[in-house]
Amino acid sequence: MRSRILLGPVLVVPVLVACVGCGSSATPPPSPPPPPAPTAGSTPGPLAPPDRPMPGPLATAGAAQSVGEGTRRFAVELWARLRSRPGNLAVSPGSAWIALAMTHAGARTRTEAEMRRVLHMPDDVAATQAEAGALLATWNDASRTAYTLRVVNRLFGAAGARFEAPFLALTHGTFRAPLEPVDFAADPEAVRAHINQWVAQQTQNRISNLLPPRSVDGATKLVLTNAVYLLARWLSPFTRESTRDEVFHGAGGRTETVPTMHMVGPLRLAELADVQVLEMPYEGGDLAMTLVLPRAQDGLAAVEAVLDDATLASWLGAGETTAVSASLPKFTIDPPEPVPLAEELAAMGMPTAFDRNAADFTAMANPPDPRERLFISRVFHKAFVKVDEEGTEAAAATAVIMAPRGGPPRPTPRPKVFRADHPFLFFLRDLRSGVVLFAGRVESPR
């Protein structure tokens, strides 16, 4: 039986840069002149079909460790800011990290230093960017993987706006993000719909309305967007015949009857003091979902409270392959609205990027009028994850909007039991690089 993982546009990080001297208004400003002819200083980047990844170097086993470590640390710190939200929760640290890494490429001075710390980039930023580019090439090369993983980027820039040539060269050449000119000034809602349509196309329509109404306006200068789509098969699949209705003990003592999948096979399992940690690999051996199940039915909050980078790293590396009888509920996480992340990211240590009077993105755009310089105005996040007998399907997207400152051992006869009949965490990652593609919490499978 086929197992699918579908990752839909999970993250939207619109970085809105608004003119310091010009506030947003219901009436858009006059349309700007047509885009200027390319110059040596600031030019629009070349366009590329959204469904044709550009060529580039391939990541090798053991490469991109700084990207993997950075996304893991970023994931833990972002989770600490979001975990107080009630109910099911899903995020894409990988999508958010890539979108913010593209934005970081245009930052300077204190803005750059703060973003680098939040993204946990080493001092050799150029090497990290190259690693990210190699990973994008590997993920998008269907001939080299046993799964479908599309990670695509695009810049939607205001027609007539001038962006720094080195920034466009880096985002296009390394992050495979072509620049598409759009007319925010004439009809910002039409542009918003166009961006949302692009995201939906890249995620097989699993992520829609990434940018909410009025999230862009006539003063918007740039939206940096990342979209992720994943379709993969379990290495040891469940079968529909083994699925049956069973009780799930949810948060607050609530119970519900949900379809629960069952399988017995060799899996990596760690029996720790407060949790069980089960790793479920996908076909090809490059991807895996790690499930963290508290031993106490009401123990998830306590587990989340002590989650830090060292703890997550220990979970991801714990356990040994043994025979396991695994029970896992079918679940879907599909929030109706995106989650704003600007306050969370600022609190994580990059407040200057959101400060219209202090942000320095002059490596992205450096207009002579300081009021036209850019800052991040808002960030949105939205994730979709579905797990059933067919596997896991997930999608993710990140948009940054800028505007002017203004081979296993033989199973033992008695398998160990992993029964996820109460709230748990999951982490879906690329095993070669360590990149955390998705992280989530299941409090109610329905």
pLDDT in tens, the chain (446 residues): 333 333 333 333 444 554 443 443 323 333 333 333 333 334 333 333 334 444 444 454 444 568 999 999 999 999 999 999 999 999 999 999 999 999 999 999 999 999 999 999 999 999 999 999 999 999 999 888 888 899 999 999 999 999 999 999 999 999 999 999 999 999 999 999 999 999 999 998 898 888 999 999 999 999 999 898 988 889 988 999 999 999 999 988 899 999 999 999 999 999 999 999 999 999 999 999 999 999 999 999 999 999 999 999 999 989 999 999 999 999 999 988 888 899 999 999 999 999 999 999 999 999 999 989 999 988 888 888 988 776 788 887 777 777 676 544 445 458 999 999 999 999 999 999 999 999 999 999 98
Distance CA 64, CA 216 (A): 34
Handedness of CA 291, 292, 295, 296 (dihedral sign): negative
Question: What is the DSSP annotation of 179-213?
Answer: EEEE-TTT-HHHHHHHHHHHHHHHTTTSS---SPT
In a domain, 286, yes or no: yes
- At 317 the pLDDT is 86
Pairing of the two strands 436-442 and 339-340: unpaired
Q: What is the pLDDT of residues 395-412, one digit of tens each?
A: 877 777 776 765 444 454
In terms of domains, do 101 and 198 share one?
A: yes
In terms of domains, do 81 and 96 share one?
A: yes
In a domain, 55, yes or no: no
In a domain, 270, yes or no: yes
In terms of domains, do 222 and 260 share one?
A: no
In a domain, 51, yes or no: no
With beta carbons less than 8 A apart as the criterion, state whether 398 and 12 touch. yes
In terms of domains, do 360 and 320 share one?
A: no
In terms of domains, do 283 and 427 share one?
A: yes
In a domain, 34, yes or no: no
Using a 10 angstrom Cβ sphere, with 0-12 exposed, 13-18 middle and 19 or more buried, the burial of residue 82 is middle
How many structural domains compose the chain? 2
The domain that holds 229 is classified in CATH as: 3.30.497.10
In terms of domains, do 301 and 386 share one?
A: no
Report the predicted TM-score, pTM, of the whole model to 2 decimal places. Answer: 0.86
Task: Determine if residue 196 is left, alpha or beta; phi over 0 gives left, psi from -120 to 50 gives alpha, anything else beta.
Answer: alpha
186: tokens are 């004439």
In a domain, 29, yes or no: no
In a domain, 39, yes or no: no
With beta carbons less than 8 A apart as the criterion, state whether 363 and 167 touch. yes
The domain that holds 436 is classified in CATH as: 2.30.39.10
Task: Determine if residue 112 is left, alpha or beta; phi over 0 gives left, psi from -120 to 50 gives alpha, anything else beta.
Answer: alpha
Pairing of the two strands 275-281 and 331-333: unpaired
In terms of domains, do 294 and 435 share one?
A: yes
Question: What's the one-letter identity of residue 270?
Answer: A
- At 251 the pLDDT is 87
In terms of domains, do 195 and 279 share one?
A: no
Q: What element of type H or E holds 75?
A: helix 65-82
In terms of domains, do 284 and 357 share one?
A: no
Indicate the DSSP class of residue 143. G
With beta carbons less than 8 A apart as the criterion, state whether 133 and 57 touch. yes
Nearest alpha-carbon partner for 224 in 437, 16, 8, 438: 16
In a domain, 166, yes or no: yes
In terms of domains, do 126 and 223 share one?
A: yes
In terms of domains, do 225 and 352 share one?
A: yes
With beta carbons less than 8 A apart as the criterion, state whether 135 and 228 touch. no
- At 413 the pLDDT is 58
Q: Residue 225: which domain range?
A: 6-20+61-233+333-404
In terms of domains, do 221 and 181 share one?
A: yes
